Structure 1
Amino acid sequence: MSPRHNGIRQCDRAALKAESNFVAGGTVLKLEVQILRRLAGRPHVPQLIHSGKKELYCYMVMTLLGDSLGSLQKKIGKVASVSTQTRVGINILFGVKQLHDIGFVHRDLKPANVAIGRPNTPDYRFLHILDFGLAREFVVIGENRKLQMRRPRPRALFREKKDISEMKKRTQHDILLKNSPIQLQILFEIINGPLHLQERPHSTKLQHERPIASYREG
Structure 2
Amino acid sequence: MKPTGTRDHLLSTGLRVLHARGFHASGVQDITAAAQVPKGTFYTHFDSKEQFGAEVLGRYWEHRASNAIALLSDEARSPLQRLKAYFASKTRDRAAGPFNTGCLIGNFSAEMATDSRLVRDRLGSVFAAWTSLLSRCIREAQAAGEIRASLQPDTIAAFLIDAFEGAVLRAKVERDATALLRFESIVFSLILT
Please give the TM-score of this superposition, normalised by the length of structure 1: 0.28
Task: Point out the structure with the larger helix share.
Answer: 2
Determine which structure has more spread, i.e. the larger CA radius of gyration. 1
Task: Point out the structure with the larger strand share.
Answer: 1
**Of the two structures, which has the highest relative contact order with CA contacts closer than 8 Å and spacing of 6 or more?**
2
